[in-house]
Homo-oligomer: A and B are copies of this chain.
Amino acid sequence: MTDLRPPDIVRSAYAELIVTDLGASKHFWVDRLGFVISSEEPDAVYLRGHEEFIHHSLILRKGDVPACSRFAFRVRTPEDLDAAALFHTERGCEVRRYPAGATRAVGPTVRVQDPFGFVVEYFHEIEWIGHHHQHYDQRHGASINRLDHINLVTDDVQALYEWYMALGFGLSETIEDDDGTLYATWMFRKQTVHDIASTQGSSPQLHHLAFSVPESHHILGLADTLGACNEYHHIERGPGRHGVSNAFYLYLRDPDGHRVEVYTTDYFTGDPGHQPLRWSVNDQRRRDFWANPIVPRWYEEASRVLDIDGNVQPLRKRGSDEQRITVGADGLGVTR
């Protein structure tokens, strides 16, 4: 009955964002953030960080409406593609298979639409780029190393958590209340704090993509550069230290409003029996360890998501209970 096992997901590997002005997006992601261009097409740019040895971790594709069209999990073996297809078929999801090259530089893929409305692409093969991580002369911006995780907005944090547990993820941290109601979760396959996280709100939406950088000063340096260039409007929240994950962070919005986190130094979660760290929704340090206030739009705004046919999905409206509860805690205008 090995067929019933979930696919052996290695990690979150890439995402595709629909952007309305490819030139403006390249300026932001490449010139400012410091991504490396792997390939360009008339309507798309394939980007990677300096410690990614594969073709891309981010595809920017020209379109009319800003959105996230899909994100991708790498699986351990080619057979895990079958496991992924079966896992989703049995759960009533739309599942489609694509041949090698349907996504540039990537082998055969299984594309599914999950019950939450997210299009997920499973793949095993991808072009190996080689070791370029020590080209320090080519690093700039925030010295982007690699895609770390993907944060999803959902109106049902509990259900999304259960879904990813069924897919074999580990749980590293939560925000919850005394009744055990989950407000947000952090879940991992690779040995870090997360590959997938969830935030409560109108669904389905992409909250942000997060990329790992070497040290905190690289994040400060990016903010300085955006200030110098009068492009500070891209900065949304931070820099700060997360309570959850313990990482040092800065949130930015790209020219289409897609949120990106640059991020450094979370911790190892690879031990068997690793226990989750559960934060109270009333702990003011959970979202910012220094209890700095969170700008409301960080809770309220996110990127729309395309369905498997490429249509913008409608939102199931829901506000953030966490945000309501914490007015008086980290809501703006109340503290500080």
Contacts and interface: CB of A to CB of B under 8 A. Distances in A.
Interface of A: 10-11, 51, 53-54, 74, 76-77, 124, 128, 130-131, 133-138, 140, 145-146, 190-191, 214-217, 220-221, 223-230, 232-233, 235-237, 239, 241, 243, 246, 248, 265, 267-268, 270-275, 277, 284-285, 289-293, 295, 297, 332-333, 336
Top 5 nearest A-B pairs (CB, nearest first) are A227-B289, A136-B224, A136-B228, A232-B291, A295-B336
Chain copies in complex: 4
Given A290-B235, A336-B236, A275 B227 contact: no
A289 B224 contact: yes
A280 B50 CA distance: 22
A233 B191 contact: no
Interface SS of A by simple majority: loop
A221 B221 CA distance: 12
Nearest to A274: B53
Given A128-B275, A131-B277, A225 B136 contact: yes
Given A136-B228, A227-B243, A232-B289, 17 more contacts: A53-B274, A77-B272, A128-B275, A136-B221, A136-B225, A137-B225, A137-B229, A140-B140, A190-B268, A191-B270, A216-B220, A227-B290, A232-B290, A293-B295, A293-B332, A332-B332, A332-B333
Contacts of A295: 293, 336
15 contacts: A10-B271, A11-B270, A53-B271, A76-B272, A133-B267, A146-B267, A214-B265, A220-B241, A223-B289, A223-B290, A227-B291, A228-B289, A236-B336, A332-B332, A333-B333
A66 to B, nearest CB: 19
